[in-house]
Amino acid sequence: MTAHGRFHAALPTDLDNQDIAELPRWARVAFAARCARRVQAVFTAAWPEAPQEHIAAVEAAISIAEAASVGVRPSAKDVVYEAQRACEAAAVSERRAAEAAAEAAANAAESVEAITESFMTCASLGAATRAAEAIGFRGAVMTGIRRDFERLKKWAQKEAWTDETRVSREFFGPLWLEGEEPDWSKVKLVSKTGEEGEETKNIPTEEEIAQLPRWARVAFAARCARRVQPIFSAAWPDADEWHVQRIEQAISIAEDAAFQARSATIAPGIDNVKEAVVAALTSASAAVAAADAAYGAWLAATTAQTAADTVAYVAADAARAAKGASFEREVVSGIRRDFARLKEMAEREAWTDETPVLSEFFGPLWLEGEPERWPFVKARRAKFYEQPQLEIYIDPGNAPKETIQEVFEALSDLHVAAGGLGLEFVNDGNFIYAMEKVPK
């Protein structure tokens, strides 16, 4: 069983990924299937005109997860693909609840084969929650889900289930207790053009990205990849260090190329970033998308001309990774904010294709702090990057700009002399202090 940071904003508040990780493996898969089964009716209720092939795909995805939990192991890959198609079709038809229901089914099927089925189980639960919320039946659905979880937990402890223990089809009993089943005929047909839908559509298009100067495009690609980088490790906690490093290196190279306004050279070992993407294919799709975003950013930095479509793909990959982890809204709005900032500055300061862009240009990744339970990459970089920043208070007196600049530069030079890359100075922004008296 895996144990990693708590995450997943869309999970019910009293149940999170660590609770789920405590279940044995096949209990998790059974739970994922059960979550999807609970909201399966939402698919057709919210999308009455759904094509039969998509309805069948959702059923097949749930069935395969149920079959796997009792010991039958057919390949789930094709089924996952079909369920994802159903999910996309619902999205195109602007049926948000149906999309979430199909997503729950696809995630359940994916949990069968994914090395990180714990993550996919969480993702299935998250999608089921969203489906229930979208139709206004959260209470009934969550009560059932909670009951399923408690039952699994109780029996797993009582009978000392292991990761090999299968879960019989009859284990859970009826899906709904008497009078508990929601009246699906009263489902509110919620269009996907609600809040979340608007966010999703906000990913900058290829045409918009093409308006940015070259290094701004690279910086944007790097930023998108950086934003979803933690999803890689969260969705694939068993990824080996080599792959994690390739992802980090790919993003750093793109950031650095944008900063130096120079195409990145292909450093030894980095030319195979693609290997990390391929390796991630054995894990959750969110990890693949996060790795793909890093690969795309690296590609944007190493090719002679950074094509807007490459960068648009990176943004789309980042959104896909976020969606897989149920953080789409937060990530997409962050991506949009970064893009708007770049565009505004590029226009205002008449940036050219030669203008460098610092990764620090964008400011913090999250304006109001990380989303709750945001995937968290422990150790590696965190300790150093969490260092408090240097606070400097300046009284300029009558000194000219040049003298103040000298002080800033001297501080930065001290950092460089000590082996760093210098300091960037930003005004705190919040406070201007007027001192009435200085005690001597």
Q: Applying CB under 8 A, which residues contact another protein? A: 245, 248-249, 252-253, 255-256, 259-260, 356, 358-360, 381, 383-428, 430-439
CB of 292 to another protein, least distance (A): 20
**Would you call 181 exposed, middle or buried from its count of C-beta atoms within 10 A (0-12, 13-18, 19+)?**
middle
CB of 343 to another protein, least distance (A): 20
CB of 433 to another protein, least distance (A): 4
Q: Across the chain, which distance is largest between two alpha carbons, in Å?
A: 83
**Would you call 177 exposed, middle or buried from its count of C-beta atoms within 10 A (0-12, 13-18, 19+)?**
exposed
Q: Looking at beta carbons only, is 122 or 247 nearer to another protein?
A: 247
Q: Looking at beta carbons only, is 52 or 430 nearer to another protein?
A: 430
Q: How far apart are CA 150 and CA 104, in angstroms?
A: 20
Instruction: Please give the C-alpha separations between residue 221 and each of 120, 192, 237, 287, 362, in angstroms, as whole numbers.
Output: 27, 27, 24, 17, 12
Q: Looking at beta carbons only, is 67 or 407 nearer to another protein?
A: 407
Q: How far apart are CA 36 and CA 55, in angstroms?
A: 13
Q: How far apart are CA 333 and CA 367, in angstroms?
A: 11
CB of 358 to another protein, least distance (A): 7
How many residues are there in the chain?
A: 440
CB of 368 to another protein, least distance (A): 18
Half-sphere exposure of 272 (CA within 13 A, CB side): 8
CB of 212 to another protein, least distance (A): 20
CB of 439 to another protein, least distance (A): 7
Q: Looking at beta carbons only, is 156 or 257 nearer to another protein?
A: 257
Q: Looking at beta carbons only, is 160 or 438 nearer to another protein?
A: 438
Q: What values do phi and psi take at 46, rounded to 5?
A: -85, -15
Q: How far apart are CA 420 and CA 16, in angstroms?
A: 40
> Hey, which residues does 95 pair with through a beta bridge?
191
Q: Looking at beta carbons only, is 180 or 409 nearer to another protein?
A: 409
Q: Looking at beta carbons only, is 348 or 437 nearer to another protein?
A: 437
